[in-house]
Amino acid sequence: MDNHGGAHLGMLMEHPGVEDQAERAMTAVGALVLQLRREAGYSIGSLAAAAGLSPGLLSQIERGQGNPSLTTLIKLSQALKVPVGRFFDTKDQGGALVRRNDRRRLEVAEDNLIYELLTPDMSGQLGMLRAQIAAGWDNEDAPFKHAGEECVTIVQGRLHVCVNGVGYDLEEGDSLTYDSSLPHWYRNPTSEDAVLIGAMTPPSF
């Protein structure tokens, strides 16, 4: 079960109209899930079963009415065999430069969980992102698993990272490099947000 199901997903920017943008973001995510489900030949019931979700929740997500958490998106991405990064917003960066306020963003607002893409997109040989991991959050029940190699550096707070069953307690300034094809998950055991910078090659978050 997804224990973060009440969290709101949004790709939100720092200006008026945030609620409208969140609604549009959920609609866009729902449309993408519907498209990917049909391309993969799944019914709602079969995809829900493959992802370990209820058909009702999946139907709500596809209609833009659900509030999927990152855990839910991880489960869907794994069932659909696409990277979680497909759910980033899709605005065109228009070149190599990414301004701070123009980062492609994936946000679970109520859980204060934010992923920002630091590279223009995920179509090159290298991907970099900034992640803000909320106090108490973890994805042990739905670990990441994607081809390639990854390095994370903690720039704020502390974070427990588990790779293929081996746990590492990281503090500010610590880095960890690992084979990202192995199951890996994060836990913030503290009462404050943690922030990391991650690099992936190939980009396959």
Domain definitions of the chain by residue range: 9-87, 124-201
Question: Domain 124-201: what homologous superfamily?
Answer: Jelly Rolls (2.60.120.10)
Report the range of poorest mean pLDDT among 46-60, 75-89, 148-162. Answer: 75-89
Which residues, at least 6 apart from 150, have a Cβ–Cβ distance to it below 8 Å? 177, 178, 180, 184, 198, 199, 200
Is a pLDDT exceeding 90 seen at residue 66?
A: no
23, HSE (Cβ side, Cα atoms, 13 Å): 4
Q: How many CB atoms lie within 10 A of CB 31?
A: 13
CATH for 9-87 is 1.10.260.40
Residue 90 or 148, more confident? 148
Closest CA to 154 of 168, 137, 142, 140: 168
pTM of the model: 0.76
Residue 93: pLDDT band (50, 70, 90) is low
Is a pLDDT exceeding 70 seen at residue 111?
A: no
- What does the block give as tokens for 20? 């409208």
Q: What mean pLDDT value characterizes the chain?
A: 85
